[in-house]
Amino acid sequence: MILLPMVFLLIHGAFGQNRHLYVKSLLDEFRQAVANGTFSKPGGGRLPSSSAMFVLTEDTQLNFVALANVYNCIKPSNPYLAEGSSMNFFSVTNMNAPYEEKRLVDNAFNRWKREPFAHGIRDDVIYDNTNIQNFANMIYYQATKYGCAVKTCYGPPVTHAFACVFDKHRYRRKACGNVNTKNTQSDIMHWPHQGSGTILGVRRTSQDLIPMIFCRGPQLKAKSVKSVIMESHKVAVGKICRGLCGKTCVSCTVE
């Protein structure tokens, strides 16, 4: 487990205090342009509009995940990511510090947004070219959350890194037992209780299409559920719960 000192979350300078809002505005404006069909594609014309693009919400845990990936200012060959998540990474090396953080963020977004102009894009807008992966990650219509981080490594040479992690939608699980569907604003995770019986679940956000699955063992009370915040556990929770449904669970409900 990587323990990250809180000092790396402290960003110096006036821009650093507003970086989170600035990054969100860049993402929202870009995704809005793509959703509205106003983003021009290489060779003329515009990308088709999208009627189902979610507004991204900044997630504190994904900020930590992004920070883990920029920790050494080098893009990791095996990124620290949950299954189903994606990451954009940008770094610049120079001998003269400091390097303005806003300039770093702007350069990263400009590079990512212009990938189709450098590598092309098919008329059917299928993103099967790994050279435009960063572009595709930013506009994936079912992404609901993101987290970004900046890090400066004083080598030499001095390297500045910026990364954003995007959390894609969760796959719908098959319900078993009693089904109770309701809308919730919560986004809470429950992990297996260390004892007899098990209760598991991933609560969805109101924008997500993925239900929450509860599997309850015969001797477990709801009050003993342990909340966990690690994003990387979500998929595992769903798989375990799906396996328990109809077997060791007294009840399995979808909310």
Matching CATH number, 6-167, of 2.60.40.2310, 3.40.33.10, 3.30.1310.10, 3.60.10.10: 3.40.33.10
Q: How many CA atoms lie within 13 A of 200 on its CB side?
A: 21
Least confident segment among 47-56, 87-96, 197-206 = 197-206
More confident residue, 109 or 52: 109
- What pTM was computed for the model? 0.58
What residues have CB less than 8 Å from 220, skipping those under 6 apart? 193, 195, 196, 197, 198, 199
Q: How many CA atoms lie within 13 A of 119 on its CB side?
A: 16
Q: Where does the pLDDT of residue 212 fall: very low under 50, low under 70, confident under 90, or very high at 90 and above?
A: very low
**Cβ distance 199 to 217 under 8 Å?**
yes
Q: Give per-residue pLDDT as tens, 62-98.
A: 898 899 899 889 998 888 887 778 899 999 987 665 6
Beta strands in 115-198 (DSSP E): 145-154, 158-167, 189-191
Q: Give per-residue pLDDT as tens, 161-171.
A: 999 999 864 43
Q: Where does the pLDDT of residue 119 fall: very low under 50, low under 70, confident under 90, or very high at 90 and above?
A: low
- What residue ranges do the domains of the chain occupy? 6-167, 189-254
Q: Where does the pLDDT of residue 37 fall: very low under 50, low under 70, confident under 90, or very high at 90 and above?
A: confident
Cα–Cα distance for residue pair 40/33, rounded to 1 Å: 9
